């Protein structure tokens, strides 16, 4: 495989084999690449710390950084930390795909992510099941199936739409793989632990900071959340992405599941058992993994951003809805350690 293709798409299996080799143990690979292990851990810490980062441009360093970071995240198995890194990779992949002109590369990448495509003139055929599987998280007119041209079981997509579908296919696959339960041998555990301890501690610190925001104050909610709540009170059928955002946000500021549940009482398709299950799954209190609150950038891509409604949002100083809430809610007393936040009506 050509060096520039590996550099652009470090997750391609053929490129990984070229650098990882076949039959080599994780321990041996890490021992041979301790320099990259140190670099990958430092990169993860910078991402967790909110710093601007860039991935290596050298082919070997890029791929080895990708492999070792994936090993680290699989070892940590923390959805919050994994998502922060995966979002960066997703953005890089999307930008690269938008510039990609070689159909062979597009097919290789799509095939790797279980999306088979064909090109017809300047359009791309995406099987409807693949399209739906990777467009479901969006509240985006451009990605609604009803707005697509369909042909013989395929969506006839522009390059822009294709890039979005591939981007989401990568994110879903990556997050599934790094959060699988994997048993690491004791010698690998001993090797990784010193490098990842600061990353894990930083993730724990950020989660505690996000949760410690004082008693609930709806007047300090960002306009995106206020709009969702207003629509739900009116009985509107709020999108899945909107409901997901609502649950993650309320959970992160400390609201118990029973109080989050009360916000769903007016939705037209309300079903008690399903609603409780979904809340437990998203908050990690059932058998699911705790999900993080979407960033402003993600909410914008989902069509859920209303920054023009508030000067703090439109100032460009806010990149996360929790930052908005924290800033507007500075006067609230700290959360009592004796119990969860209570809802204030």
Give φ, ψ of 30 to 5 degrees: -65, -40
pLDDT at 324 over 80: yes
State in Å, rounded, how far the first CA of the chain is from the last one: 61
The CA distance from 136 to 171, in Å, is 13
- Tokens, residue 90: 């997703």
Q: What is the pLDDT of residue 238?
A: 86
Domain boundaries, the chain: 212-328
Min mean pLDDT across 64-73, 83-92, 217-226, 260-269 is at: 260-269
Q: What is the pLDDT of residue 338?
A: 40
- Tokens, residue 161: 């739409």
Q: What is the pLDDT of residue 332?
A: 52
pLDDT at 38 over 80: yes
Q: What is the pLDDT of residue 108?
A: 94
Q: What is the pLDDT of residue 203?
A: 78
- State pLDDT tens for residues 270-323: 777 888 888 888 887 754 567 889 999 999 999 999 999 999 999 988 889 998
- State pLDDT tens for residues 133-157: 888 654 467 788 888 899 999 999 9
User: How many other CB atoms sit within 10 Å of the CB of residue 53?
Assistant: 14
- State pLDDT tens for residues 158-209: 999 999 999 989 988 998 899 888 889 999 999 999 999 888 888 777 766 6
Domain 212-328 belongs in CATH node 1.10.3470: no
Per cent of the chain over pLDDT 90 is 43
The CA distance from 71 to 91, in Å, is 20
- State pLDDT tens for residues 109-124: 999 999 999 999 999 9
The CA distance from 63 to 68, in Å, is 9
The CA distance from 6 to 12, in Å, is 7
> Structure pTM?
0.64
Q: What is the pLDDT of residue 128?
A: 95
The one-character DSSP state at 341 is: P
- Cβ partners under 8 Å of residue 61, min gap 6: 36, 39
pLDDT category at 254 given cuts 50, 70, 90 is confident
């Amino acid at each position: 495989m050509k060096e520039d293709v590996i550099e652009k798409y470090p997750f391609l299996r053929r490129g990984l084999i070229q650098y990882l080799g076949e039959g080599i143990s994780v321990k041996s690979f890490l021992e041979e690449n301790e320099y990259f292990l140190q670099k990958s851990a430092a990169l993860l810490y910078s991402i967790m710390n909110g710093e601007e980062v860039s991935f290596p441009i050298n082919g070997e360093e890029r791929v080895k950084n990708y492999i070792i970071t994936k090993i680290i995240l699989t070892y940590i198995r923390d959805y919050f930390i994994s998502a922060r890194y995966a979002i960066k990779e997703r953005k890089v992949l999307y930008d690269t795909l938008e510039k990609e002109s070689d159909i062979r590369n597009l097919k290789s990448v799509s095939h790797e992510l279980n999306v088979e495509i064909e090109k017809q003139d300047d359009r791309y055929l995406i099987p409807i099941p693949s399209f739906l599987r990777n467009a479901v998280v969006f509240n985006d007119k451009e990605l609604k199936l009803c707005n697509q041209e369909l042909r013989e079981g395929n969506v006839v997509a522009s390059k822009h739409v294709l890039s979005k579908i591939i981007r989401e296919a990568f994110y879903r696959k990556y997050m599934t793989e790094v959060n699988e339960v994997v048993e690491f041998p004791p010698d690998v555990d001993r090797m990784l632990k010193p490098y990842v301890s600061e990353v894990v501690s930083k993730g724990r610190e950020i989660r505690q900071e996000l949760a410690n925001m004082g008693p609930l104050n709806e007047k300090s909610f960002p306009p995106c959340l206020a709009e969702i709540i207003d629509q739900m009170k009116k009985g509107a059928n709020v999108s899945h992405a909107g409901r997901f955002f609502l649950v993650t946000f309320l959970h992160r500021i400390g609201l118990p599941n029973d109080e989050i549940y009360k916000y769903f009482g007016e939705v037209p398709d309300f079903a008690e058992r399903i609603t409780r299950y979904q809340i437990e799954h998203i908050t990690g209190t059932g058998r699911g993994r705790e999900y993080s609150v979407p960033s402003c950038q993600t909410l914008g891509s989902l069509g859920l951003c209303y920054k023009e409604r508030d000067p703090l949002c439109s100032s460009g100083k806010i990149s996360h809805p929790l930052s908005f809430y924290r800033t507007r809610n500075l006067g609230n007393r700290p959360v009592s350690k004796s119990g969860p936040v209570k809802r204030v009506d």
